[in-house]
Amino acid sequence: MSVNTFTIEQNLRNTWRRQRLLVHARGLCLALICIAGIIIIDLALDWALVLPGWGRIALLAANAAVLGWIMVRRWALRLRRFNVVRTALQVERQYPQLRSLLVSYVQLGETAAAGASPWLIGAMRRQAVELTGRLDFRQIARLVQLRRTAAICAGALAVVMAGGVILPGFYSVLFQRLASPSSSAGYPTRTRITSTPGDLVVRGGDPIVLTARAAGLVPAQATLEITNGRGSRERLVVAGSRDEFTHRVPVASRSFAYRFRIGDAATAPATVTVVPPPAIADQKVSLRYPACTGMKPTTVEVLTLDVPEGTVLTWRIDVDRPLAGAELMVQDAPPIKMDVSAAGTGASASIEVRKSFAYWFRWTCREHGYAYETEARYAIRAVPDSPPVVELAGAGTADKATAGKRLALAVHASDDYGLARVSIVYAVNFGAEQRVPIRDLTGRDARFGLTWTIKDSIPKLVPGDAISYCVEVEDNREPAPSRGRSAVYRIQILSVEEYLRYIRETERPLFDRIRDSRDSENASHQAVESLEEGFK
């Protein structure tokens, strides 16, 4: 009895061992199938897409996840500890004719349960030993059950090995690229791309030239794939000249990624980073007007201005990126260096406006050293200081006089900003001009009387001399005031006798006109009286 019992339990344990062996074999086949599929899929993806480093890392993570799932769910979790009851149930499922006899056998064991008939238990155990002695427990776990899985595994391994024969070197490149995501190793191709520009940094507005050279089996055309920042992709056909393919972008306006496909070869994705010019984020211009204008300093936010001559302008410009240098570019003049702040985002410069000019800015970026000139052009129009306007009343009434002549003039002077001084400017016999200061002025508009005794300024006049004179008014502009003059008048100096004769000659026509007027008035009066007599 004990021998038979030992034989049943040993068969059940052997059955459990064969089942574990079967689980191991099935798990190994599934793992090999998974590995073969991973190799084929990884090779296809990496070869077709030329995955970047981060893409290969993600691919490795996906590989580990799939393989781990297979190893755990389809292998490790199916390995169970020996349980004699569970194994007996598996045997009975294979041999239904046992009718739970084997399960009852292993459950009751050698000792009868309380209240059970020992005779009945012994009979049941003898029957179980008799029936199981004729059974083949190896049918429970046969390796033949794995023939489909093994066939699939063999087919997958055959495909992988065939790939190694047909595409030699591909697997080594794949493993190298997966083992080192930063690796730039490429797959063998009939066409070899020998050089490309790689990653480029280009100044905004400059042309971009992308040139790829190839060797081996070189086609007549290449494909250039361009992907912009929004993800849209464009494919361009690039004609080749011998082994060189060149695509030119006339003006760099935005960044993009690109890759060349020449024959069966493709480059790794590269980027063209376009560095745009710095943009003005804030702009202020401080104006300090000349003192003569009486205008208070002010600050404006426009860059095109009309200002009085002599105004000091101070630009304070903020840009959106750090600068290494900045210049104020003045048309037809040397550049003016601007002071750049420590952070690099602010620039300032000052200039005193003496004439009108057009200007713009030149920025030099701190990061890349690129220099840019702003497309916008600005203008400063210098409004010149207008000279004072002078009008005289009473001048010109005396064109001949004696040396003691005393002129009485009524002067009206005005200026756009302010008056300062008034003088009489004269010349004798068309000689050098002389200036006689008269008085100081204030305000923008003045009306006043002016008396000039000629002999006080020109004591040595003699009959026959000619004097040219005018009234000159200066404004308050410093250090070089503007001057305005009245009309120029002339006086001929006569002796007393000549002046009296001149007066008489001048008065005679006046007397004649007065007499004629008197006679005409008398005649008119007589005519009116005659008419009145006629109506009486």
| Digit-coded pLDDT (tens) for 481-535 | 889 999 999 999 998 888 888 877 777 776 667 777 777 777 776 777 777 676 6
Residue 293 exposure: Cα atoms within 13 Å on the Cβ side: 17
Cα angle value 197/200/201 (rounded, 5°):
155
Q: Give a yes or no: residue 182 inside a domain.
A: no
Do residue 157 and residue 59 come from a single domain?
A: yes
Do residue 318 and residue 432 come from a single domain?
A: no
Q: Give a yes or no: residue 200 inside a domain.
A: yes
Name the nearest CA neighbour of 208 among 116, 272, 304.
272
Which span out of 53-62, 178-187, 338-347 was modeled with the highest average pLDDT?
338-347
Contacts of 439 (CB under 8 A, 6+ apart): 421, 422, 448
Question: Could you write out the three-class secondary structure of 151-189?
Answer: HHHHHHHHHHHHHHHHCCCHHHHHHHHHHCCCCCCCCCC
| pLDDT confidence band for 45 (50 / 70 / 90) | confident
Cα dihedral 105/107/108/113 (nearest 10): -150
Residue 197: CATH number of its domain: 2.60.40.10
Percentage of the chain exceeding pLDDT 70: 85
pLDDT digits (tens, 9 = 90+) for 72-91: 888 888 787 877 777 667 66
Q: Give a yes or no: residue 183 inside a domain.
A: no
**Residue 384: pLDDT above 60?**
yes
- Mean per-residue pLDDT for 33-60? 87
Do residue 158 and residue 292 come from a single domain?
A: no
Phi then psi dihedrals of residue 256, to 5 deg: -160, 165
Cα 477 from Cα 290, distance rounded (Å): 8
Higher pLDDT residue, 391 or 82? 391
Q: Which domain holds residue 97?
A: 2-176
Q: Give a yes or no: residue 455 inside a domain.
A: yes
Do residue 33 and residue 171 come from a single domain?
A: yes
Do residue 252 and residue 346 come from a single domain?
A: no
How many helical (H) and strand (E) elements, i.e. helices and strands, does the chain have? 9, 29
Do residue 69 and residue 172 come from a single domain?
A: yes
| pLDDT confidence band for 307 (50 / 70 / 90) | very high
Q: Give a yes or no: residue 115 inside a domain.
A: yes
If one counts the domains in the chain, the total is 5
Task: Specify which residues 360 forms β-bridges with.
Answer: 329
Which span out of 40-49, 164-173, 447-456 was modeled with the highest average pLDDT?
447-456
Number of other residues whose CB lies within 10 A of the CB of residue 461: 19
* Coil/strand/helix, residue 393: strand
Cα 368 from Cα 323, distance rounded (Å): 10
Q: Give a yes or no: residue 181 inside a domain.
A: no
pLDDT score recorded for residue 206: 92
H-assigned helices in 421-491? 454-457
Do residue 12 and residue 83 come from a single domain?
A: yes
* Coil/strand/helix, residue 319: strand
Do residue 265 and residue 317 come from a single domain?
A: no
**Which amino acid makes up residue 98?**
L
pLDDT score recorded for residue 188: 79
**Residue 296: pLDDT above 50?**
yes
Do residue 198 and residue 129 come from a single domain?
A: no
Phi then psi dihedrals of residue 159, to 5 deg: -65, -45
Q: Give a yes or no: residue 219 inside a domain.
A: yes
Do residue 461 and residue 375 come from a single domain?
A: no
pLDDT score recorded for residue 336: 95
457 token code pair: 């300024």
Domain boundary among 275, 296, 331: 275
Q: Give a yes or no: residue 171 inside a domain.
A: yes
pLDDT score recorded for residue 2: 40
Do residue 153 and residue 10 come from a single domain?
A: yes
DSSP letters spanning 38-98:
HHHHHHHHHHHH---HHHHHHHHHHHHHHHHHHHHHTTGGG-----HHHHHHHHHHH-GGG
pLDDT score recorded for residue 139: 63
Name the nearest CA neighbour of 8 among 86, 100, 96, 125.
125
Domain boundary among 383, 417, 447: 383
Task: Specify which residues 257 forms β-bridges with.
Answer: 227, 271
Cα 433 from Cα 456, distance rounded (Å): 16
Domain boundary among 354, 383, 412: 383
**Residue 446: pLDDT above 90?**
yes
Do residue 323 and residue 423 come from a single domain?
A: no
